[in-house]
Structure 1
Amino acid sequence: MLDIVFPSVSSILSITALGAAFGVILSYAKIKLHVERDPRLGYIVEALPGANCGACGFPGCSGYAMKILEGSAPINLCMVGGADAVEKISRIMDIKAEAQRPKIARVHCQGGGDVANNRFDYNGPRSCAAAQQIREGFKTCAYGCLGLADCMNACPFGAIHMSDTGLPVISRELCTGCGNCVAACPRNIISLVDSDFDVHVICRNTEKAPVMKKGCS
C-alpha cells in the first residue's frame, strides 16, 4: 500500500507568499519601466506606404517613422510614398516640407548578349556581384551589363524584368525610384533620374570608339 504524503501547511504558505512577492515585484517593474509611446508614431507608420524597401536609409517604414519622430530624419525621404506621404506626415508633425521630385531608374547599357562579347565563359553563381569578383566580370566591356539579374531580384516592386538579350528592362509604371537596383548593380550602370526627364545616356563606356567596339558591336 502506497503512503500518501501531503505537503505541510507551512510549505503551502511559503509557496503562496513567494508567488505573491514575485507578483508584487513584476507589477512594480511594469509600472517603473513603462515607457510612454507617442501616438504619433502609429500615425506616421500609417502614412508611409509599408513597402519596407529601405530606400530612405532606415530599416523599414517603422524604423524611418521612429527617426522622424525623434527629429533625426527629414519627412520627405520616402520616394515610394511621394507627395502624399509627405503631406500626411507634415500634418502629423506640424512640419513643412516639399516632396522630392519623382525618380525613375535608368539603365546605361545596350550591350545585351546579341551584341556584347565575353572574355571567358562564366559558370559560377547566377549573380552579377559574384561574377564581378571573377577577373572583374566576364564581359569584354568593363562597363557592360552582366545580365545576371541582381537588379531585378533587388526590386521589391516587380518593376524590372530581363529581356531576351539579358538586359534589364524597367517599367515606368511600376518603378518607384527606391534605388535598390542602383545599389545592387556592381557595375554602376543604373542611376535614378527625374521621371519626366526623357534624355539620358544609354552607354557608360568612356573609352575611345575602337576599344569600345571590341567589346560591343
Structure 2
Amino acid sequence: MESSIMILVILALVGLGFGFILAVASKKLAVKTNPLIHIVEEILPKGQCGACGYAGCAAYAEAVVLNPEVSPSLCVPGKEPVAKSVAELTGKEPAKIEPRIAHVRCAGEKGKATLSFIYTGMQECTAANLVKGGPKGCKYGCMGFGTCVKACPFGALSIGENGLPVVNSKICTGCGACETACPKHVIQMLPLDAHIKVNCNSKDKGAVVRKLCTTACIGCGLCAKNCSYGAITIEGNLAIVDNKICEEKCSESTCLAKCPTGAIEARS
C-alpha cells in the first residue's frame, strides 16, 4: 500500500516538474506576433478566396504587415475601401483596383445544347469532366453541376432554372474563386464597366459547333468586321473582346446587330 502511494507521489512530482519546464520553455521560446497583423486581418472580408495570392486572409495580413514589398491593394473583394485602410495602417501607397465581376461564358442551356450521354455519376463538374469530358456535346460548355457555386465564398452564384450558373451582381466581389474552380474555364472575370460579353467558350469550328449548340459563337467574324475600333478579334474560332478598347472608345456596340446566333450581347 505504502509503495503504491509512493509511486503516485513520484509520478505527480515528475508531472509537475515537466509541466514547469514546459511552461518556462513556452514563455522563453514564444514568438511575439505583431498586433498590427490582427488589426489588418479584421479589416479584410474573410472570404478566404485566395485572390490576393496568399492562403487566406491571415496569411495576407501577415505578409502585408511584415513585408514592405507586398502591396496593400491585393484584396480584390475588399476593393478600394479595404486597400485604403490597409495602406494607412501599413504606411504604404495603395494602387488602383479595377472592379470586376464573374461572367459565365456559356448560354448553352437545356434545349439549346445537345448531350452526348446521360451522366449519373457524382454531381460535381470536376468529376463529370473526367468522364469523356462531361455529358454535353460541346466539350467547352458549362456542365451545370455547380462546382463554381460551392467555390464562391460570398454566395454570389446559384444554378438557374436553365441549368446554368447565375451571377448575383450585387454580391459578386470578382474574387475569382469560381473562375479557378471551373474545370472547363467557362467563367472569366470581366471589368465592371465592360460594355459587351461573349456567351461562349467553344473553340470548335462553326460547322461543328452549330450542331452542338444553337447559341454558340461560330467564329464567323461579323462582330469583328462591324467593330469600328478593332476591339474584337477571332482567336481559335471564338470572338475575343479587348475590354479596354471597348470601354474607352465605343459607345455604339455595332457588333451586336450582326451576330447570327446572339452569342455576343450587351452586358446588363
Inter-partner Cα distance in structure 2 for 1:131 and 1:18: 58
Match of 1:98 in 2: 95
**Superimposed CA distance per residue, residues 79-120 of structure 1 (whole angstroms, 9 cap, x where no aligned partner):** 111111111111111011214211100011110112000111
Of 22-31 and 49-58, the range deviating more from structure 2: 22-31
Inter-partner Cα distance in structure 2 for 1:135 and 1:65: 42
User: Structure 2: which 5+ runs fail to align?
Assistant: 215-268
Inter-partner Cα distance in structure 2 for 1:34 and 1:156: 33
**Superimposed CA distance per residue, residues 98-146 of structure 1 (whole angstroms, 9 cap, x where no aligned partner):** 1421110001111011200011111111111111111112211122111
- Give, in angstroms, the shift of residue 190 of structure 1: 0.7
Q: Partner of 2:196: helix, strand, or coil?
A: coil
Match of 1:61 in 2: 57
Match of 1:183 in 2: 180
- Give, in angstroms, the shift of residue 19 of structure 1: 6.4
Letter of the structure 2 residue corresponding to residue 33 of structure 1:
L
* Greater length-normalized contact order (CA 8 Å, ≥ 6 residues apart): 1
Q: CA RMSD in A?
A: 2.5
Match of 1:193 in 2: 190
**Superimposed CA distance per residue, residues 143-174 of structure 1 (whole angstroms, 9 cap, x where no aligned partner):** 21111111111112111111222111111101
> Percent identity of the aligned residues?
35
Of 119-128 and 65-74, the range deviating more from structure 2: 65-74
- Give, in angstroms, the shift of residue 42 of structure 1: 1.2
Larger Rg: 1
Inter-partner Cα distance in structure 1 for 2:132 and 2:19: 65
Instruction: Quickly say closer, same or farther: Cα 1:205–1:14, change in 2 above 3 A.
Output: closer
Of 30-39 and 115-124, the range deviating more from structure 2: 30-39
The 5 Å alignment of 1:111-126 reads 111-126=108-123
User: Structure 1: which 5+ runs fail to align?
Assistant: none
Inter-partner Cα distance in structure 2 for 1:87 and 1:160: 28
The count of aligned residue pairs is 213
- Give, in angstroms, the shift of residue 20 of structure 1: 6.7
Inter-partner Cα distance in structure 1 for 2:7 and 2:125: 69
Match of 1:202 in 2: 199
- Give, in angstroms, the shift of residue 25 of structure 1: 2.8
Letter of the structure 2 residue corresponding to residue 79 of structure 1:
V
- Give, in angstroms, the shift of residue 32 of structure 1: 2.0
- Give, in angstroms, the shift of residue 18 of structure 1: 5.2
